[in-house]
Amino acid sequence: MWLINKHADALLFGIPFALFAGMLVLLEVGRRAGNRRLAEDPEGAKERLGAVEGAIFGLLGLLIAFTFSGAAARFDKRREMVVAEANQLGDAWARLDALPKAAQPAIRDGMRRYLESRLETYRRMPDMEAVKEELRRSEKIQDEVWKAAVAACELPDGQRVTMLVLPALDTAFDWTLVRTASSMHHPPPIIWIMLLALAFASALVAGYGMSGGRKRNLAYMVGFAAAMSVAVYTILDIEFPRVGLVRVDAVDQLLKDVLERMK
């Protein structure tokens, strides 16, 4: 999964293109194989071909539906997490008012730097090396804020608000791990391998079924390969919403709004 996230931008466009080209080749291979078989055995060349086609195309459709549904569900979950993180950070910021006045400036400055670091983390995706570097910075700032908040709660004027401030900060900081883990949550590689293998197999079977004519049906071949490639691209685009056309960047505006309130 780390490798997939690291090269998500290349895979998003490379896989559909390779699928399109490979399916065109296999459609032609299947058509020629069918023509040879027809020349050798005209009556039995396509015997029981319908059962094979039905099984392969049925399994392919099921797998496409499964991966698309999973990608859409994860996309919605990621958007919900942005809203939840923004709410928690806003709530924690508001509760800092209960701390002693002298302790507030340092903690508030740390919260601003923390949120800026979180936004920078999302901007750096899908470059996972850069993301990990920024996460380390976020964790360092988080530790500074936490220690300052604990020290403030130990002051005579702060002890009474300990249970009001610290749980809110703890919940807000928990989203660092939750959202990072969510961004790297994708189907196992075997699912993608199966999807591509079935797409190639369907092209071979479809090409075999097209045999018998003198000329190849280019419109059918290109249309079939293009439809499958677009379907796979759409799934990948939703699966990696920081790379392609379908993005969650707009939802990050909620975090930017919270940052504006902190200034």
- Which tokens is 196 given? 């591509």
- Sequence-distant (≥ 6) Cβ neighbours of residue 261 within 8 angstroms: 90, 93
Query: Where in the chain are the domains?
Result: 2-244
Q: Which amino acid is at 169?
A: L
Q: pLDDT > 90: what percent of the chain?
A: 35
126-179 pLDDT, tens digit per residue, is 677 788 888 899 999 999 999 999 998 888 877 788 788 899 899 888 877 787
pLDDT in tens, 222-245: 999 999 999 999 998 888 887 777
Inter-CA distances, 85 with 39, 78, 88, 168, 179, Å: 66, 11, 5, 11, 9
Compute the distance between CA of residue 130 and CA of residue 133 in angstroms, rounded to an integer.
5
Residue 249 neighbours by CB under 8 Å, 6+ apart: 122, 242
Yes or no: say if 230 and 84 are a contact pair by the CB < 8 Å rule: no
Nearest-angstrom CA–CA distance, 85 and 177: 11
- Tell me 160's DSSP state: G
> Which residues are CB-neighbours of 220 under 8 A, at least 6 positions away?
210
Rounded CA-CA distance 254/83 in Å is 7
Q: Within the chain, where are the H helices?
A: 2-6, 8-40, 49-95, 104-123, 128-153, 162-183, 189-209, 218-239, 253-262
pLDDT in tens, 92-136: 999 998 888 888 999 999 999 999 998 898 888 767 778 888 889
